[in-house]
Amino acid sequence: MADVVDLSIDGMTCAACVTRVERVLTRVPGVASAEVNLATNRARVRGAGALDPGALEAAVAKAGYSAHPVTETRTEAASFPARLIVAVMLTAPMLATMPFGHAAMLPGWLQLLLALPVQTWVAWPFYRASWLGLRGFYGGMDLLVVLGTSAAFLLSCYNLALHGVHAALYFESGATVITLVLFGRYLEARARQSAASAIAALAALRPTTAIVLRAGVEAEIPIAALAIDDIAVIPPGARIRADGVIIAGAGGVDESLLTGEALPVAKQPGARAIGGAINGEAQLQMRLTAVGRETTLARMVRLVEDAQLNKPDIQRLADRVSAVFVPVVVVIALLTATAWAIAGAPIDTAIINAVAVLVIACPCAMGLATPTAIMVSTGIAARAGILVKDAGALERAQAATIIAFDKTGTLTEGFPKLAAIEPVADTSREEILRLAAAVQAGSEHPLARAVLRETKDFPRAINHRASPGRGISADLEGRTVSLGSRRMMEELGIDLAPLTNAEARHAADGQTISWLVADGRLLGLLAFADALKPSAAAAVARLQALGLGVVLLSGDNQAAAGRVGAALGIGDVRAGLLPEDKLAAIRSMRDDGAVIAMVGDGVNDAAALAAADVGFAMGGGTDVAMAAAGITLMRGDPMLVADGIVLSARTWRTMRRGLFWAFAYNVIGIPLAAVGLLDPMIAGGAMALSSVSVVLNALALRIGQLRPRAD
């Protein structure tokens, strides 16, 4: 019994399914609200008091679906490949003979044997969804598929029994419709399955065991057994198990996955540490202050879950129109048969004309319009370095009015570079670089790697002595050389006055400072910064030229974020944001009527990426960010954001145009079939022609380019 219950729902195929499941759940006594997400096949039920999960599962089952506790993702998508393979294998022989005329077609009995499994077992999901839709007074594309293909199949069986080898048969038409529409559904099911991977990627950051001190002895226990006030031991390089306060040890901690900060954060006794961060070079002991569902990482998991659950489902244009189109077609078919019968025509003629209406209305082109456009556009995108995980993202991106960028790893490189060297009067820049490299040789610290990238020419130092969280010292050329933070210099009693103005200038730009001394004498300072990506300025300028607003959302300090915003021409800069602050900013802008595209690369961006209308993840970022976003930029190039939006606009226009032509054939063909000017064979040909038109329309996406040519 609980006041919030999460369920995994099997059997949903469309937005109407979501509505029905929400309706039956809200009718269960004690339920205050129910939110169902088609993308993740999840339902979250909230109660005014305690809820009975068994009653919720029973209500869902009564509606024709199945519900399970959220322990594993269970969907019907796995059955689609087998059905699709069988459909292709059985339909292909019938289609292969069509170009050679009626005389070359397979014998009628063989066509029946090939089409029967397609019309029954392969098409079973459509029949099931149609029945559920009719129970809920809803008709969609599933019902169109069932009506059209069943009519073609039954008419073919009737003609085969009546006329034998000379019969007009439509087995291949029905089988082809089922195969093509099923292929489109398979693509959608794949996208829905991948949407749930964001939660799994976040969960992967949580280790399964932890080392704690019990009675002064280290013991490894399951992570679930941790309790508040436990003393956890974090070895160098290990992931911190839960939130807490450092009580012993000092060193740098990489919190970039959670906060977006590019540089390791120095931790001393008394400092807070976040579960999920990675310890640096020193062993730490920490007293736990939050465990289980109350840790920062666990809260981030819930943020992503909630953002995905609350994101509105895409209502495809074809489904909206077919909700009205289906009952109209059925009524027209019945009226056609009735009118011909009243006019004195033979009953066979009345039935054939009514079937012709159903055949011409069968949504082959409707089923092709969206999947073919998406297939072509995703192929174009892949060649450009844009990986589209969620086909719906291609529809949403073109409507974006504001692009919200994370800073670190998105517009910047995501790792520190040596930005400046400030020597005292009698020391050269080359000497400072040479000594700093010698002291840090062999270190894996990000600042050390930044120095070592700048030079390979330095002497060999000995007796390296690390001061965790402060700096490092070594002996070389008869001197003791130290490189470290201001705190280390103060502890050594070094006078930093000669370079305090330079320090203030670099600190104002958000840069990190290291001081270099030899035998107690100040030699200079080194400033480190997270450099802008080469294409960042051009990317922002291009987005603004497209008429889009650009916002910077950063977990970094105001000075660092402001410097990046000024360099790129971004006027709206919001700094010092925690993951929940970024999520709140996205929701606030959406509440003001903006359509938001979020661009990020870290775990701290995952909730915002999921909450935005469309998320762009940098390919060099975390698995969590890529799982939460609908589009991944494989090269991590911000210029690809504009490419994705341009492609989205072209794809959206292509899909609308394809759907227009698909419905145009129906609008023109249905009256002709109703008055007897189209027999089912010609209707089937017109249906095939509409499909060819839709495919050619989608292939037109390959004409043109995503990016303007350079002058």
Hey, which residues are catalytic here?
406
Ordered strands of the 31-37 beta sheet: 31-37, 42-51, 2-10, 66-69
Token match 């909230």: residue?
Answer: 46
Question: H-helix or E-strand containing 105?
Answer: none
Q: 473: helix, coil or strand?
A: strand
Dihedral of CA atoms 45, 615, 372, 701 in degrees, nearest 10, equals: 160
Ordered strands of the 479-484 beta sheet: 412-423, 521-532, 512-518, 479-484, 471-476, 462-467
Query: The dihedral of CA 497, 502, 508, 510: what is its sign?
Result: negative
Q: How far is CA 518 from each of CA 273, 432, 451, 484, rounded to the nearest angstrom?
A: 33, 10, 18, 12
Q: 555: helix, coil or strand?
A: coil
Query: The dihedral of CA 267, 270, 276, 282: what is its sign?
Result: positive
Q: How far is CA 618 from each of CA 183, 206, 258, 412, rounded to the nearest angstrom?
A: 29, 22, 16, 11
- Cα separation of 348 and 356, whole Å? 12
Contact 74, 13 (CB under 8 A): no
Phi, psi angle pair for 463, to nearest 5°: 55, 50
Give the pair of three-digit tokens for residue 547.
């008429």
- Cα separation of 600 and 615, whole Å? 8
Token match 């953002």: residue?
Answer: 307
Contact 433, 455 (CB under 8 A): yes
Which residues, other chains included, contact 385 with Cβ-Cβ below 8 Å and sequence gap of 6+?
619, 633, 634, 635, 637, 640
Give the pair of three-digit tokens for residue 357.
């209406």
Which residues, other chains included, contact 637 with Cβ-Cβ below 8 Å and sequence gap of 6+?
385, 533, 535, 539
Q: What length does the chain have? A: 711
- Cα separation of 439 and 483, whole Å? 7
- Cα separation of 338 and 326, whole Å? 18
Give the pair of three-digit tokens for residue 584.
């709140």
Q: 313: helix, coil or strand?
A: coil
Give the pair of three-digit tokens for residue 258.
């959670």
Q: What residues pair up with 244 in beta bridges, in sequence order?
A: 273, 288
Provide DSSP, 658-684.
HHHHHHHHHHHHHHHHHTTSS-HHHHH
Which residues, other chains included, contact 319 with Cβ-Cβ below 8 Å and sequence gap of 6+?
14, 15, 16, 140, 141
DSSP 8-state assignment for residue 533: P
